[in-house]
Amino acid sequence: MHTHKPPAHWYQLKNDHGTENIVLSGNYTLMALEHVMGALTNELAKQAAKPDVRWDLTGIKHMDSAGIAMLWRIWKQQRPASLALRPEHEKMIARLEQIPAFPAETSDGSILQPITSLGKLALVLWQHAMGLVMLIGQLLMDVIYLVRHPVYIPWREISANLFRTGAQALAITALVGFLIGIVLSYLSSKQLQLFGADIFIINILGISIIRELGPMLAAILVAGRSGSSMTAQLGVMRVTQELDALTVMGISHSQRLILPKILGLGVAMPLLVMWTSAMALIGGMVAAELQLGLSYQYFITALPDSVPIANLWLGLGKGVVCGMIIALIACHFGLRIKPNTESLGEGTTTSVVTAITMVIIIDAIFAILFSDVGLT
């Protein structure tokens, strides 16, 4: 882009009886202004800052939206006190005058800025909380209705979501679980060998995987995989106006779209937790045999005695809660997406981040509430 002063034919300065006139000429179009836009804007902005300036645009032959937008920014989104222009250009100015001006943002250095930001964040959180409460209430009403009218239960949608969120996630959860089991067993066995406590590798793997790592790994993988998919699906339906079409046809969004997703993931998650934990234990068992020489038979035989059954039920309970929360958050953000592609991307990202954060919070709550369960 050229940084020198633009050619003289773009504008001229004339003095008429003490009044300074800025006479514009030429073509103020995007193609014509491509190489002089920045320099011309700076020059005209300096002239616009002077008091009692008269603008004459009658010499402009052609002007498109790029040219009028440049002048409108130079005039600080308001018509100059003295302005002469052609009738066709007057229509463009009139349309710009109908657009409300954006309010100036407060300075970042303001003392109240942190309080204002905190207040905005609190309002956003309150809006999301109210939206989730309303969604949960609608789902409870749908459950009551379906219990009274079992013929309308969407079995096909539930089974489809169970397949997509459960069966299709078996491969990735198995791979991650197996590798995590190998890493955990290898590192733990290295430390246990220093103290001659090789046999306790079964206790460490059993408790950590069945109680914590299995549910957490499955929930995080599902939140990133299935949660984003649910949000994107509802968002695309919003963009393509499919949700509006369902409303026109009298089909409930919550009964046909949201409830099957929550029930499907609520059933699939505990199964994925068991699958992920089993694969992690297999990986740990392989690493323990290679590193410590513990046989597979001994590992399988000693595992039930080393890990109380309460840890398994606790892991499955985490799976059910995390699965339904992930689906609920995904559907909540999916329904809030606006009919444009930018909102679709932002909503999907926010949904995944929020779901993973809630999974970690739920795991912490379970750890505190059931700290004395399954460890003695």
pLDDT-derived band at 328, boundaries 50, 70, 90: very high
CA distance 82 to 73: 17
Model pLDDT, residue 192: 84
Q: Is the pLDDT of residue 7 over 60?
A: no
Model pLDDT, residue 88: 82
CA dihedral (312, 314, 316, 322) in degrees, to 10, reads -150
Q: Rounded mean pLDDT of the chain?
A: 86
Using CA atoms, how far residue 36 sits from 43, 73, 172, 233, in Å, is 10, 16, 54, 45
Residue labelled with tokens 């985490």: 318
Query: Rounded to the nearest 5°, which phi and psi values hold at 222?
Result: -70, -40
Using CA atoms, how far residue 340 sits from 239, 333, 348, in Å, is 6, 14, 13
Using CA atoms, how far residue 95 sits from 85, 101, 136, 278, in Å, is 15, 12, 45, 66
Which of 335, 375, 358 is closest to 244 using CA atoms? 335
pLDDT digits (tens, 9 = 90+) for 253-297: 888 899 999 999 999 999 999 999 999 999 999 999 888 888 889
- The full set of domain ranges for the chain reads 8-98, 135-369
Model pLDDT, residue 9: 62
Tokens describing residue 358: 């809630």
DSSP 263-325: HHHHHHHHHHHHHHHHHHHHHHHHHHHHHH---HHHHHHHHHHHS-HHHHHHHHHHHHHHHHH
Average pLDDT over residues 27-44: 82
CA distance 129 to 361: 16
Spatial CB neighbours of 232, under 8 Å, sequence gap ≥ 6: 334, 344, 348
- The overall pTM is greater than 0.85: no
Spatial CB neighbours of 184, under 8 Å, sequence gap ≥ 6: 204, 205, 208, 209, 213, 280, 284
Q: Identify which has the larger pLDDT, 105 or 34.
A: 34
Spatial CB neighbours of 327, under 8 Å, sequence gap ≥ 6: 226, 227, 230, 261, 262, 264, 265, 266
Task: Match domain 8-98 to its CATH number in 3.30.750.24, 2.30.30.50, 3.40.50.300, 3.40.50.740.
Answer: 3.30.750.24
Q: Is the pLDDT of residue 10 over 80?
A: no
pLDDT digits (tens, 9 = 90+) for 172-201: 999 999 999 999 999 888 888 888 787 888
Least confident stretch, 11-20, 62-71, 220-229: 11-20
Other CB atoms within a 10 A radius of the CB of residue 258 amount to 24
Which of 9, 13, 29 is closest to 21 using CA atoms? 13
Which of 61, 133, 91 is closest to 332 using CA atoms? 133
DSSP type of residue 5:
P
Strands 53-63, 82-84: pairing is: parallel
The percent of residues above 70 in pLDDT, for the chain, comes to 94
pLDDT digits (tens, 9 = 90+) for 56-87: 888 888 888 888 888 888 888 888 878 888 88
Other CB atoms within a 10 A radius of the CB of residue 205 amount to 27
Q: Which long-range contacts (CB under 8 A, 24 or more apart) does 152-158 make?
A: 152/255, 154/255, 154/256, 154/259, 154/260, 157/256, 157/257, 157/260, 157/264, 158/260, 158/263, 158/264
